[in-house]
């Protein structure tokens, strides 16, 4: 029953009571409880796909001719969920966008309370600098910008560089905890050589005096190593019915998520595989690295190929079908839900 129908069916004295208490910023919970505490998750987010080559890239390049990276601070086209237009989010809790850095450009240094990831879509050799260390980026690399770390981006190559941005902006906004600080310089002073963080923390070893932090001390997880791990995994056993061959990224110091609010994974789907029906409470954003296929979410079919992005909302039953061998990167808010004891999944056959 909708609110209008409920209002019509209410006894007049009850409606008068509601009208009398409203000016005092009071409201009856019993009239709203069914929409606040639901039997199962309800989300305004809808399943959707963004086709990179046909739709995203042409407009991203047009944006490159209209505004510079310095003017924009971050030249990004938001991937806005069609069920939440105007809210600048791809799920209820996460932001996603495509960022462009043209040859010779620098996206100025700043820091903010929001945690961010970069998943590289196009181009080779542009850099992200985090806390004084630069890393060169290749397609498929998973790059972190932890909360309140100085970071800037630059492109010293002769080709455009594009990556998928994922941030916890809606979570920070919900908590009214947003802070941002610009730097006095466009680029940070480089204080550590490239690869320093991986050498210190990415070889199953840690400096003897290291004390684990909330975010991973490794901020670039190269695709070359990830792909090698998935290939080896696929040779050593049968794929999981629901996931294919799937690995999650971890903070090497703790074994937990690389960031406290965003978790990320990479999975390999053998050609011809259709995964078993699955759903979970973490709405998930996918970026296609290799292969072609489709994902059926409820009664919606999302067709995808390399560099496309698609989203599966919370608690929506879905199945992936790989027409050819496929690799999918994904991220979600599962670490938050795990920490709060809220995360659930349902594996169907």
Residue closest to 237 by CA, chosen among 203, 207, 268: 268
Look up tokens 């684990």; give the residue.
Answer: 212
Provide the 3-class DSSP secondary structure of residue 95: strand
- How many residues make up the chain in this entry? 349
Q: What is the pLDDT of residue 9?
A: 78
CA distance 185 to 108: 7
Taking the model in full, what pTM does it have?
Answer: 0.95
Query: In angstroms, rounded to a whole number, what is the distance separating the alpha carbons of residues 234 and 221?
Result: 20
Average pLDDT value for residue range 176-195: 92
Reply yes or no on whether the pLDDT at 202 is more than 70.
yes
Give, rounded to a whole angstrom, the gap between the first and last alpha carbons of the chain.
34
Question: Order of strands, edge to edge, in the sheet holding 180-182?
Answer: 133-136, 127-130, 151-154, 106-112, 180-182
Nearest one of 150, 169, 331, 178 to 258, comparing CA atoms: 331
Task: Check residue 185 and give its pLDDT.
Answer: 86
Q: Is 81 helix (H, G, I), strand (E, B) or coil?
A: coil
Per the prediction, the chain carries an average pLDDT of: 95
Pick left, alpha or beta for residue 83 (phi over 0 → left; psi -120 to 50 → alpha; otherwise beta). alpha
- Taking the C-alpha atoms of residue 194 and residue 144, their distance in angstroms, rounded to an integer, is 15
**DSSP state letter for 29:** G
The model's confidence at residue 7, banded by pLDDT at 50, 70 and 90, is low
Task: Quickly state the pLDDT bin for 4 (edges 50, 70, 90).
Answer: low
What pLDDT sits at residue 8? Answer: 59
pLDDT at 47: 98
Q: Given this model, what pLDDT does residue 6 score? A: 61
- What percentage of the chain exceeds 90 in pLDDT? 92
Nearest to 280 by CA among 302, 259, 265, 260: 265
Identify the architecture of domain 48-347 in CATH: Sandwich (2.60)
> Cα-flanking dihedrals φ and ψ of residue 169, to 5°?
-55, -45
Residue 30 per-residue DSSP state: G
Q: Indicate the helix (H) or strand (E) that contains 309.
A: strand 309-312
DSSP 192: B
> Mind listing the pLDDT tens digit for each residue in 125-175?
999 999 999 999 999 999 999 999 999 999 999 999 999 999 999 999 999
Map residue 19 onto helix, strand or coil: helix
DSSP 326: E
Rounded-to-integer distance, Cα 177 and Cα 253, Å? 27
pLDDT digits (tens, 9 = 90+) for 211-243: 999 999 999 999 999 999 999 999 999 999 999
Averaged pLDDT for residues 38-56 = 97
Q: What is the pLDDT of residue 248?
A: 98
Count of Cβ atoms closer than 10 Å to residue 1 Cβ: 8
Report yes or no: 70 and 108 within 8 Å, Cβ to Cβ: yes
pLDDT classification of 3: cutoffs 50, 70, 90 = low
pLDDT confidence tier of residue 186, bands split at 50, 70 and 90: confident
pLDDT in tens, 281-311: 999 999 999 999 999 999 999 999 999 999 9
Q: Could you tell me the residue ranges of all domains in the chain?
A: 3-36, 48-347
d(CA 325, CA 338): 31
* Per-residue pLDDT band at 105 (split at 50, 70, 90): very high
pLDDT value of residue 5: 53
Give the model's pLDDT for residue 349: 83
- How far apart, in whole angstroms, are the C-alpha atoms of residue 101 and residue 61? 10
When pLDDT is averaged across residues 85-98 and rounded to a whole number, the result is 98
Pick from 126, 123, 119, 170: nearest CA to 145? 119
């Amino acid at each position: 029953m909708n609110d209008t129908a409920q209002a019509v069916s209410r006894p007049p004295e009850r409606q008068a009571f509601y009208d009398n208490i409203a000016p005092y910023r009071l409201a009856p919970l019993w009239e709203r409880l069914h929409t606040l505490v639901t039997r199962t998750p309800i989300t305004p987010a809808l399943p959707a796909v963004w086709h990179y080559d046909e739709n995203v890239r042409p407009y991203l390049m047009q944006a490159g001719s209209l505004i510079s990276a310095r003017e924009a601070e971050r030249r990004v086209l938001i991937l806005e969920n069609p069920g939440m237009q105007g809210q600048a989010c791809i799920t209820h809790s996460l932001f996603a966008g495509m960022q462009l850095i043209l040859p010779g450009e620098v996206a100025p240094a700043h820091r903010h309370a929001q945690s961010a990831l970069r998943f590289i879509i196009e181009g080779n050799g542009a850099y992200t600098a985090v806390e004084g260390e630069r890393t060169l980026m290749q397609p498929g690399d998973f790059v972190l910008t932890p909360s309140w770390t100085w970071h800037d981006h630059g492109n010293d190559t002769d080709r455009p560089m594009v990556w998928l941005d994922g941030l916890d902006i809606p979570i920070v906004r919900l908590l009214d905890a947003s802070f941002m600080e610009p730097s006095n310089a466009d680029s940070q002073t480089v204080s550590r050589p490239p690869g320093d963080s991986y050498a210190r923390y990415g070889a199953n070893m840690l400096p003897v005096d290291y004390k684990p932090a909330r975010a991973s001390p490794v901020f670039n997880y190269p695709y070359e190593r990830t792909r090698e791990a998935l290939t080896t995994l696929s040779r050593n056993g049968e794929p999981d019915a629901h996931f294919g061959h799937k690995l999650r990224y971890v903070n090497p110091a703790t074994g937990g998520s690389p960031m406290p609010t965003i978790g990320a994974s990479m999975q390999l789907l053998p050609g011809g595989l259709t995964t078993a029906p699955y759903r979970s409470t973490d709405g998930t954003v996918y970026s296609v690295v290799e292969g072609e296929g489709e994902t059926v979410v409820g009664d919606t079919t999302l067709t995808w190929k390399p560099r496309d992005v698609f989203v599966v909302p919370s608690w929506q039953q879905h199945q992936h079908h790989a027409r050819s061998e496929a690799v999918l990167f994904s991220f979600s808010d599962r670490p938050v839900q795990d920490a709060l004891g809220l995360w659930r999944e349902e594996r169907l056959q």
